[in-house]
Structure 1
Amino acid sequence: MENELEPVHYSVLYREIISFFLSVFDKDRELLFLDGTAGEGGHSLLLLEQFPNSKLVLVDRDSVMLSRAQTRLSAYSSRVIPIEANFSDLDSEFLNSHGVSNPPDGILLDLGISTFHLLHAGRGFSFRENEPLDMRLSSSGGISAEDVINTYPEKALSKIFYEYGEERWTKKIVEAILERRRHSRIGYSGDLAQLVSRVIPRKFWPPGRHPATRVFQALRIEVNQELLHIEIGVKKLLDLVAKGGLLQVISFHSLEDRIIKNLFRDYARGGEAKLLTKKPALPSDAETKENPASRSAKLRVIHKSLPTDTEEEEEDDEE
């Protein structure tokens, strides 16, 4: 029984993900899966349960999350190969160096941030607690959110908040940040959340969401260079997945989804794969009611095998 003090972990769109894999694979086959964003290990646990003769490569860039996922999957440890890495590092040579010689039959990416990161990582991902503004998903260093807030020039901050956060109050928020940092450094998540809350008039706060949500999202994307890693990583994974295999990607942001949509479309045009989701699969009403955080999730799936027909796969969906 899970510790009642721990937040409930939801595996977003898990029914759809398992259904897509079962539509292609016999559940009793000896398959190799790869979870490129292990997180809490929820999706990996379902794959190990549903495909009892399969093995799974468990990947996460955060050593803390990888350890938590391994603990959750301890009953299946003989079938799990843990690797601390960013999914954008993965190619056949990299996997070979870690003892994985066969290409994965099924690959999954869940690009959402975990509940643990939001509530317990202590890295300033959330505005609920007053934590140091860090936001790094990896333990290997790099620039922090505090560095971004306190050193980036006005133009760069504006670009981040407007493009990555789609924040309509960008101009006033950046002005307030520049004014504040003339007097003192902004070092904690609570300080930044309060600043943004004061800038945006209460009547314009998004219903059911903290007014600083978009700013925090934009900062996390910048600090971890998430869009760049998606562009690089998904290209590599399209090449890595075995013939006849599936690549499934869950995104939570329109910029992420656009990258995946275009990469999948272009790859399918080459005749080496078929799109199984011309429009993304979305969570059901029941799932969004049970787990409101899933409401913005989009799942795209590509099957790496020759299409059964030559009809054009184009049917552009709305972002």
Structure 2
Amino acid sequence: MEPVHYSVQGNEILQIFRENFSKEDAVLFLDGTAGEGGHSLLFLQEFPNSKVILCDRDPVMLSRALARLDEFKNRVVPIEINFSEIDSDLLSSYGVTDAPQGILLDLGISTFHLLHSGRGFSFRESEPLDMRLSPDSGLSAKDVLNTYSKDKLMQIFYKYGEERWSKKIAEVIVDRRKLNSIFYTSELADLVSKIIPRKFWPPGRHPATRIFQALRIEVNQELAHIETGLISLLNLLRLDGVIQVISFHSLEDRIVKNAFRDYAKEKGFTLLTKKPILPSEEETKINPASRSAKLRVLRKTKSVDKKYRREDFEEEEESDV
């Protein structure tokens, strides 16, 4: 039996939208990370004249969210897409000609993915090392572990997992795969557990937690999608609209914090959260997975100077290398 699904910081997110929109308004929301559909359910219930553009890169999650929102299906536009690929042209192709007024990104990995997807996101069960949020697309975690060079593995473990034992873990993985490829989560979890001395295990967490996080970020290119997607969505947002983003670790939060700060300084946006909103003590007791969540909010108060073009952003990135 699957656990009860909780919408992380749902009360806080709903309150912020209440403060900026009237209940009677015909608000167009964009949920860029549908997950189980919990946040969108709150929007549809609270704003009876609203519509939701429901997006997720994982067709399984999108299907689960749609099933949950079935009673509101006439007010939902489902799109199987990574939020980083959303722009006005894409929305137009689905018959959406207006810009969204409320945008939400919940950057956390869902409980379903961790416990029930069978894709190897967690070390709790012995599952194939996949970790792809878009099934059957791109490299799997198994591919990364068994083909990347020692230096490249060390780099992603350190950069995306902030793991101090990155060098040693990469060395052991490369030596191990000369004998046998690493296929299962249990193999990787056991290997890391033996490398890191017990006295250095993080309190209350499995010693392989950081390595699993790093692999997931690499496989799904999560940080790159956040950087690109935020720029696109900030420019897509309607004037007087509000965007809310929940991050779960420092690497994500740093990107969100810097983008929001820059747009507040240079693009005519207003920062509604000088410090991130943290989950309440009550919420963390009910849903311990929410304890690391940080919510940041930005309001669009002036028009953006130029229309966002993906190729411009990519050229700027290349010039910085």
TM-score with structure 2 setting the length = 0.92
The amino acid that maps onto 1:222 is: E
CA contact (8 A) 1:62 1:84 kept: yes
Residue 177 of structure 1 is aligned with which of 170, 173, 176? 173
How many equivalent residue pairs?
A: 303
Partner of 2:103: 107
Q: 1:201 aligned to 2:197?
A: yes
Residue 23 of structure 2 is aligned with which of 21, 24, 27? 27
CA contact (8 A) 1:106 1:245 kept: yes
Residue 234 of structure 1 is aligned with which of 224, 230, 234? 230
Residue 137 of structure 1 is aligned with which of 133, 137, 141? 133
Deviates more, 1:171-180 or 1:52-61: 171-180
Provide, for residues 145-196 of structure 1, a one-character-per-residue CA deviation record: whole Å limited to 9, x for no partner.
0010011011111111111001111122112211211100001111101111
Cα displacement (A) at 1:140: 5.0
Structure 2 residue matching 1:296: 3-state secondary structure: coil
Q: 1:162 aligned to 2:158?
A: yes
CA contact (8 A) 1:58 1:82 kept: yes
TM-score with structure 1 setting the length = 0.93
Partner of 2:247: 251
Instruction: Supply the distance in 1 between the matched residues of 2:46 and 2:252 (Cα, whole angstroms).
Output: 28
Residue 219 of structure 2 is aligned with which of 197, 220, 223? 223
Partner of 1:264: 260
Give the 5 Å matches for 1:270-281: 270-281=266-277
Instruction: Supply the distance in 2 between the matched residues of 1:206 and 1:291 (Cα, whole angstroms).
Output: 21
Provide, for residues 131-151 of structure 1, a one-character-per-residue CA deviation record: whole Å limited to 9, x for no partner.
111100003510110010011
Instruction: Supply the distance in 2 between the matched residues of 1:136 and 1:113 (Cα, whole angstroms).
Output: 11
CA contact (8 A) 1:274 1:306 kept: no
Partner of 2:183: 187
Instruction: Supply the distance in 1 between the matched residues of 2:164 and 2:16 (Cα, whole angstroms).
Output: 37
Residue 58 of structure 2 is aligned with which of 59, 62, 77? 62
The amino acid that maps onto 1:76 is: F
Cα-Cα RMSD:
1.1
Structure 1's consecutive aligned runs of 4 or more residues displaced over 6 angstroms after TM superposition are none
> Structure 2: any 5+ residue segments left out of the alignment?
304-321
Instruction: Supply the distance in 1 between the matched residues of 2:261 and 2:181 (Cα, whole angstroms).
Output: 45
Instruction: Supply the distance in 2 between the matched residues of 1:81 and 1:265 (Cα, whole angstroms).
Output: 31
Instruction: Supply the distance in 2 between the matched residues of 1:188 and 1:255 (Cα, whole angstroms).
Output: 26
Partner of 1:311: none
Partner of 2:296: 300
